[in-house]
Amino acid sequence: MLLGVAIIVGLLWLFYKHWVSNYNYWKKRGIPSYPAEFPYGSDPNLVQLKKFKGYTIDKMYHEFAAYPMFGIFVLKKPMLIVKDPELVQLVLTKEFSHFRDRGLIELTQKDILNHHLFHLRGDKWRAIRMKITPTFTSGKMKAMFPLFISCAESFSSLLLSKADSKVDIKELVGRFTADVISTCAFGLETDVINHPDNKLRKIGIERIKVPFIRKLKTALARLFPAFSAILNKRSNESENQDYVINLVKNIIEQRENNGIVRNDFIDLLIQLKNKGNLGDDRKESEESFEMTLELMTAQCFSFFLAGFETSSSVQSFCLYELALHQDIQSKVINEINEKIEKNNGLTYKALNEMEYLDMVISETTRKYPTLSDLHRECTKSITLSSGQKIEKDTAIIIPTWSLHHDPQYFPDPDKFDPERFSQENRDSIIPYTYLPFGEGPRMCIGMRFGLLQTKVGILTVLRKFKVEPCEDTKIPLVMGANSATTSSDKPIIIKLVARS
């Protein structure tokens, strides 16, 4: 009996020693690091995620204000937080070949919906990125603009039914963005604006949430990397995954059988599927691949997810700030009226002339970046000019939230000030301190689409309404922990006031 207890105690002690011995990782490499304690590492919240991760990293960021980078531990896994703008540029752009993957999850064949550009690695990511990029040119956006306007008209009718009442603004704009993305990506007339319980939208909302079971899987995957593929298997419920696959399959069959061409996102994927590989323009270093139904489904679902969630968040944060700053709101409304009148209606040209609206949206994405941090993985060891070495497989974190709220880059960072992004001031922003869409070859491919969608949504509200705070408006907002993107912990409630 005593022998058995002694063996168990001995094994536990060895396990503990093996675990905590890794906490010397950064010290051995001459890189300053945040203290770590068994079992969580540098901070329990990086594992438990009980509060917004941006707040946790921001605390560390300021404690290491004098250093260009510093190490942390999540459980026993070492991660490097890169905070100096020049080092951020090195990771995202200058030495991209050393940091080209995100390394967030291990992909499995059964977890189909995760095989999209955000998670794909290496040559497969590069090949698909090159082929999909033409979908998001300014010319394509202009061609899609009538679809945006059609959705905006339905959205306007919904807003009229809410006149002079308190609303959860993210819920409303979320219906609009889901309609736009369904129309432009899938060619579907979903009418989510009037039918908010649409199946595809519900799947998207569930996917953005971070429930306890997903937090647990993430923690275990970091703790036992060899088993991460098993732990992440079928991270989407099989029923939801099958629904999205069948939806895309039916759209493809309908288009191919009836010769339907819309020149949209799914059309490009159909062309790639029928071509079979990268063809004559494939470089030797690229990986030949087959654009299967599963791969097409993953790209479509990723486009949908990013399109409706990120844009609805930016719009809701923007309208919240405009409600609190009536002077800024008045300038936006005056510009919208002026440009629409000048161009004899709401045209693509009129929208692109709304410079102050651009400034307001830029300041919104500065104060509320969609992702609190960017992730990269070192795919090839590199020695920095300082002599410090970043080894292959090292996880890199770029603290977007902290950079956007650092007073040395953005004075009085909690103040909502669109003038930071005026023509006179924009050039004074230090490169790689403002990263709402990332930077470099892996920056957000749908940036143009997202901005267009955001502008149309905001001006649709402001053409007929003012937004005002009410007794249920939370001031200031506090970011929550249960979303994969930056999101308020409480609904954003404002009042819609009809304009005469």
The binding site for heme comprises: 444
Cα separation of 117 and 122, whole Å? 11
Q: Are 222 and 101 in contact (CB under 8 A)?
A: no
Structure tokens at 383: 């020695």
* β partners of residue 209: 483
CA 156, 160, 164, 165 dihedral sign is negative
Q: Are 470 and 495 in contact (CB under 8 A)?
A: yes
Structure tokens at 284: 């030797």
Q: Are 75 and 41 in contact (CB under 8 A)?
A: yes
DSSP 287: P
Cα separation of 136 and 131, whole Å? 11
Cα separation of 440 and 89, whole Å? 8
Sheet holding 493-498, edge to edge: 165-168, 493-498, 465-468
Residue positions forming the annotated binding site: 444
DSSP 22: G
- The string over 34-48, giving b where at least 16 C-beta atoms fall within 10 Å of a residue's C-beta and e elsewhere, is bebeeebbbbebbbe
How far CA 380 is from CA of 99, 179, 353, 391, in Å, comes to: 7, 42, 44, 7
